[in-house]
Structure 1
Amino acid sequence: MTSLTKYSWLTSAVILSIGFLFLHFGLVNYGTTFFFIFPLAVGFALGTHPKEQRSWLSLSLAAILFFGFLLAGQLEGLICVAMALPIFLLAMWIGYLIRKVTSVRKTKRTQDHLVVSVMPLVVLLALDPIEQMILPEPEVVTITTSVLLDYPAELVFDQVKAMDKLDAEKPLGIRLGLPSPYRCVLEADTIGAKRHCLFENGSIIAEITRYEKGEVLEMDVVDYSLTGREWFRFVDATYTFARENGQTKITRTSSYKSLLNPRIYWEPLEGWGIEQEHQFVLASLRKNLEEFTAGQ
């Protein structure tokens, strides 16, 4: 047994890491080819090695080593790794199982092992441009979150248009690494003014397009410098204020576009992540309102 075969799990992790570097440097895109077909090919290649007895262990070791490399090198955050790991493992398992039920012979020579091992990179580089040619333009996705507050709409509006601090208890996603703002600054109370939301690792700048006190605050996102800007873009954000039995129902709406595919996998995760940010902002708003009224 050659070293390449004996340590096929290590070889697979190296191939996955090289594929990610292709992504990192813009040689391939954030599509189905990278997130599903590429790891499927890696799993298939791993299954062609002779005497690959502990398939579950080899697949798991390869994936863990690969994602460990991303974390150790600070190439991706914990939350991104946690989101991508299931689809990578699933695709690698499917690739391995396809190999098990096909009649493709197992490789015996070192040269064959090398060719099979690097074949996933060839598949990635060959199929990615084809996928990009046939993919439709990203659709706008809208996420809405509402909360009922026991305060007048005008007061809620004043407290949310600019927030000196956002320090409520953080939901799970933000604790795992999703970006969360710590301050939002409004330049002026007028249409055309910029609203800057500041994060530890960047900012979101929006331009006010509709300003009606106690009714609606509408903004177009004009700049976004957070992690993920290569594949993710906020389009607009809106706060609406509805009066219900002496209370105010505030609704936060965010619209975005994403290049991540397959959409059937990524869209629910993106929606969950944005809802986590909505919950944090609205919880911080509630806390600020409580502190403001207590000080009156």
Structure 2
Amino acid sequence: MQIQSPKSIGILLGTLYGIFMRLFVELLDTYNLSSLVSISFMFLVPVAIGYIRIHFEFKSSKTLTKRQMVTIAWQPIFVFLLVSVITLLEGSICVAMALPAFMLFASMGGLLAGFIKQRQTKNANRPLLSIALLPVLLSPIEVNYLHLSKTYEVTNSIVIEAPINRVWQQLANVSTIEPQELPFSLTQLIGVPKPLEANMNATGVGAVRTSKWQKGVAFKEVITDWQPNKQMLYRFEIDPDAIPDDALDKHVKLGGEYFSPLYGGYALSEDKSGNTILTLKTTVQDNTNFGVYSRIWGEVIFQDFHYSLLTLMKNRSEKPLVAAISHF
């Protein structure tokens, strides 16, 4: 592939545009004029990247199918994100969360380039410049005037073949979690640290439960409701400055500016067979402007995390019973 070819130029310029915008937006963020966690960067920048790629592809291919416009537009996206990871501009968690949106909106940019190409043969560079500048022009407005903070609750349950009192004993203090005790999960795949243990300094309302994760992550859960064998509720107390910078990407850091769990807790009930139904819920605050997209990711991540913890509690609660039956 020759660097002078329209294909190479489109990939190169699309990648360079993405890197430039990544650095430029971070610079503007210091003056409260832009943000990487914004519609302008998350959705409009990939539109421009896709547009750039297809704009130059048309210089060698007179016609492109819609499928080609959609898929070819991904090429500079992949290169841009790969460079971002290699140069430590972004961590694996942010890249994984951004990738679906970047691919979708790059495809929209590619289709837009095709639409404009069909209707405008002269001054073809003018729309390209306008689209490339659009994120820069809109970002200050969004950052200063658009605030779509929202709160939602994620709830999951599991049936445990053990009495309630046995399950309750597993909740407050969680001894060291061995790697094989946690099922493989999406959160592990994208780089979220695994939980290691949790310890209570007392029992009852006001007690503090300290959770520790890998990579030095630790946070407190202050008990707000304590009903033995019924429920244990808590509010999160998270100091983002106490979480190591390399543990979680700064844009999704727990207790940070954009994303934080507020409340959580376990509830226990009994089914007709005498098994325990253990429910885990977490109330999450989302301060991004991403709407449905961030809600989907929040649901995916917390449900995945809930599944890991509930499975741990199930296996630990059922293990003594299995051992006793086997011994008998």
Paired amino acid for 1:234: P
1:44-92 per-residue CA deviation (whole Å, 9 max, x = no partner) reads 3344446153756752320111111122234444454233222112212
> For 1:196, what is the secondary structure of its paired residue?
strand
1:14 is aligned, of 7, 16, 26, to: 16
Aligned to 1:231: 258
Aligned to 2:48: 41
Relative to structure 1, is the Cα distance of residues 251 and 23 closer, same or farther in structure 2, using a 3 angstrom cutoff?
farther
Relative to structure 1, is the Cα distance of residues 295 and 48 closer, same or farther in structure 2, using a 3 angstrom cutoff?
closer
2:135 is aligned, of 124, 135, 149, to: 124
Aligned to 2:268: 241
Aligned residues: 291
Relative to structure 1, is the Cα distance of residues 142 and 128 closer, same or farther in structure 2, using a 3 angstrom cutoff?
same
TM-score by length of structure 2 reads: 0.77
Q: Quick one: distance in 2 between partners of 1:170 and 1:231?
A: 28
**Ranges in structure 2 where 5+ consecutive residues have no aligned partner:** 62-67
1:93-137 per-residue CA deviation (whole Å, 9 max, x = no partner) reads 2122212222445668xxx69x956962x4223212212344344
1:146 CA displacement: 0.3
Q: Quick one: distance in 1 between partners of 2:315 and 2:122?
A: 63
Where do residues 132-143 of structure 1 align in structure 2 (5 Å cutoff)? Answer: 132-143=143-154
Runs (4+) off by over 4 Å: 1-6, 22-25, 54-58, 104-108, 115-119, 292-296
Q: Quick one: distance in 2 between partners of 1:205 and 1:20?
A: 34
> For 1:7, what is the secondary structure of its paired residue?
helix
Q: Quick one: distance in 2 between partners of 1:94 and 1:23?
A: 22
Q: Quick one: distance in 2 between partners of 1:194 and 1:148?
A: 27
Q: Quick one: distance in 1 between partners of 2:136 and 2:85?
A: 24
Does the CA contact (< 8 Å) of 2:22 and 2:36 recur in 1?
no
1:214-243 per-residue CA deviation (whole Å, 9 max, x = no partner) reads 111111111053441242111111111112
Q: Quick one: distance in 2 between partners of 1:106 and 1:187?
A: 72
Q: Quick one: distance in 2 between partners of 1:292 and 1:251?
A: 21
> For 1:237, what is the secondary structure of its paired residue?
strand
Aligned to 2:169: 158
Where do residues 1-296 of structure 1 align in structure 2 (5 Å cutoff)? Answer: 6-22=8-24, 26=29, 27-49=34-56, 51=59, 53=61, 59-102=73-116, 103-105=119-121, 116=128, 120=132, 122-167=133-178, 168-176=181-189, 177-201=191-215, 202-223=217-238, 225=243, 226-227=248-249, 228-229=252-253, 230-245=257-272, 246-293=274-321
Paired amino acid for 2:174: M
Q: Quick one: distance in 1 between partners of 2:268 and 2:120?
A: 63
Relative to structure 1, is the Cα distance of residues 134 and 193 closer, same or farther in structure 2, using a 3 angstrom cutoff?
same
Relative to structure 1, is the Cα distance of residues 10 and 221 closer, same or farther in structure 2, using a 3 angstrom cutoff?
same
Relative to structure 1, is the Cα distance of residues 212 and 75 closer, same or farther in structure 2, using a 3 angstrom cutoff?
farther
Relative to structure 1, is the Cα distance of residues 158 and 14 closer, same or farther in structure 2, using a 3 angstrom cutoff?
same
TM-score by length of structure 1 reads: 0.85
Relative to structure 1, is the Cα distance of residues 106 and 7 closer, same or farther in structure 2, using a 3 angstrom cutoff?
farther
Relative to structure 1, is the Cα distance of residues 51 and 206 closer, same or farther in structure 2, using a 3 angstrom cutoff?
same
The CA RMSD over aligned residues, in Å, is 3.0
1:279 CA displacement: 0.5
1:17 CA displacement: 1.9
Does the CA contact (< 8 Å) of 1:46 and 1:117 recur in 2?
no
Does the CA contact (< 8 Å) of 1:166 and 1:285 recur in 2?
no
